[in-house]
C-alpha cells in the first residue's frame, strides 16, 4: 500500500533513517498535557538527550501546520511546549487525520505516535505508560485505543506498563485477546508504572535488547500484524511501592467519580490529583521512568539497526 502522508522530517532524523542508524520515536501528549511549562520542555530535552547518549536519534512526533513532524527542531519543540493544553488536540487514531486536514496543532498519544512512526519507518517508540482499560469499563466501555493499535501497528513500544490508575488485570487480558506480545524486561512480574510490582505474572520475559529486537524481526518474518509491548520496570530508587500508591489512586478515582469526570478528561484529572496527593513525588517518578524507557528503547533500536 502506498501512502502520501504529509510527513516533515527534522534534518537529524531524515539523515539517520537514510543511513540506517537507530531512531527512537517519542510521543508529544506528555509535553502538551502531561506537565506545565517550562518543566515540560526540560523533560522533553532530557529524554531526547538520554536517547542520544544511548547511541540513537530521538524523533519527537507532533502535528503542526498540517504536517506530521517526525522529529522536532529545538525551536519547534519549544513552540509545542508553550502551546496551551486547550489549543493542542490530544490525538489518537480517530482524530489524527482531522487535525492534519484542519491545520491544527496536535500532540500524539501512544496510538497516534505508533501510526506516525510506522509511516516514517521507525520501529521503536519510548513512552511513560500506555493507556488501557479504565476502572468500571464494564459499564462505561472506556478502553484506550492504544491497545487496538498495539494489535495492528508494527512498532515496539517501551513503557513502564500501563498507567496504574487503570484496571491492570483487564488491560493485560485485552492485550492477550488481541494477540499482543507483552514482554516484561528483566523480571517475571509485570510492572505497574510507578511501582515495579503489580502482583501479575508476565506472559513473556526477556532480559536483553537483542532478544527483543530478534522477536520483532521474527514477527515480521512470520507476517504477524501488530507490535510488541516491552514492560520496563521503573528504577528501584525512583519507585513508589504499590502499598503506598494504591490508596492515593483509590482516593483520586473516587473524587473523579463524584465529580462526574469522564472520557479523555479522566486520565489528566487522575494524574493531577495523584501528583497533588503525593506532593509531587509521582511526577518525579514519572520523569525517571520515562528516562529509563528511553535508555532501553535506544538499546533496542541499536540492536535492530
27, 64, 183 from 158: Cα distances, Å: 12, 25, 10
- The closest of 182, 214, 211, 216 to 198, measured between CA atoms, is 182
225 annotated ligand-binding residue: no
90 annotated ligand-binding residue: yes
248 annotated ligand-binding residue: no
Catalytic residue among 27, 48, 149, 239: 27
144 annotated ligand-binding residue: yes
Tell me: cis bond preceding 218? Omega within 30 of 0 counts.
no
Active site residue 27: yes
Active site residue 163: yes
110 annotated ligand-binding residue: yes
Classify 157 as helix, strand or coil.
strand
Burial letters for 78-97: b for 16+ Cβ neighbours within 10 Å, e otherwise? Answer: eebbebeeeebbbbbbebbe
- Give every CB contact of residue 77 below 8 A, 6+ residues apart in sequence: 31, 41, 44, 45, 48, 60
Catalytic residue among 123, 149, 163, 239: 163
In the chain, what's the furthest Cα-to-Cα distance? Answer: 54
145 annotated ligand-binding residue: yes
Instruction: Specify whether the CB–CB gap between 198 and 192 falls below 8 A.
Output: yes
Annotated active-site positions, please? 27, 163
Per the annotation, binding residues for substrate are 90, 110, 144-146
Q: Which residues are annotated as a binding site for Mn(2+)?
A: 142
Give the residue ranges of the annotated binding site: 90, 110, 142, 144-146
Amino acid at each position: 500500500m502506498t501512502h502520501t502522508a504529509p510527513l516533515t522530517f527534522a534534518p537529524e532524523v531524515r539523515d539517520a533513517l537514510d543511513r540506517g542508524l537507530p531512531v527512537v520515536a517519542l510521543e508529544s501528549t506528555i509535553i502538551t498535557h502531561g506537565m506545565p511549562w517550562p518543566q515540560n520542555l526540560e523533560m522533553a530535552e532530557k529524554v531526547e538527550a538520554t536517547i542520544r547518549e544511548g547511541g540513537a536519534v530521538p524523533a519527537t512526533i507532533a502535528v503542526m501546520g498540517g504536517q506530521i513532524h517526525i522529529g522536532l527542531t529545538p525551536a519547534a519543540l519549544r513552540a509545542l511546549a508553550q502551546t496551551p493544553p486547550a489549543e493542542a488536540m490530544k490525538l489518537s487514531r480517530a482524530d489524527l487525520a482531522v487535525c492534519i486536514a484542519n491545520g491544527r496543532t496536535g500532540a500524539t498519544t501512544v496510538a497516534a505516535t505508533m501510526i506516525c512512526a510506522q509511516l516514517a519507518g521507525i520501529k521503536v517508540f519510548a513512552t511513560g505508560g500506555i493507556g488501557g482499560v479504565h476502572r468500571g469499563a464494564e459499564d462505561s466501555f472506556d478502553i484506550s485505543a492504544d491497545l487496538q493499535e498495539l494489535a495492528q501497528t508494527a512498532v515496539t513500544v517501551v513503557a513502564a506498563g500501563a498507567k496504574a490508575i487503570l484496571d491492570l488485570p483487564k488491560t493485560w487480558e485485552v492485550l492477550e485477546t488481541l494477540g499482543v506480545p507483552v514482554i516484561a524486561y528483566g523480571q517475571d512480574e509485570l510492572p505497574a508504572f510507578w511501582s515495579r510490582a503489580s502482583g501479575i505474572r508476565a506472559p513473556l520475559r526477556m532480559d536483553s535488547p537483542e532478544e527483543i529486537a530478534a522477536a520483532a524481526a521474527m514477527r515480521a518474518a512470520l507476517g504477524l500484524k501488530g507490535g510488541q509491548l516491552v514492560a520496563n520496570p521503573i528504577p528501584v530508587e525512583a519507585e513508589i511501592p504499590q502499598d503506598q500508591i494504591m490508596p492515593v489512586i483509590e482516593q483520586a478515582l473516587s473524587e473523579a467519580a463524584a465529580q462526574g469526570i469522564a472520557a479523555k478528561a479522566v486520565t489528566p484529572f487522575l494524574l493531577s490529583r495523584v501528583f497533588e496527593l503525593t506532593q509531587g513525588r509521582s511526577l518525579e517518578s514519572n520523569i525517571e521512568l520515562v528516562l529509563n524507557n528511553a535508555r532501553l528503547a535506544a538499546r533496542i533500536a541499536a540492536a535492530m539497526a
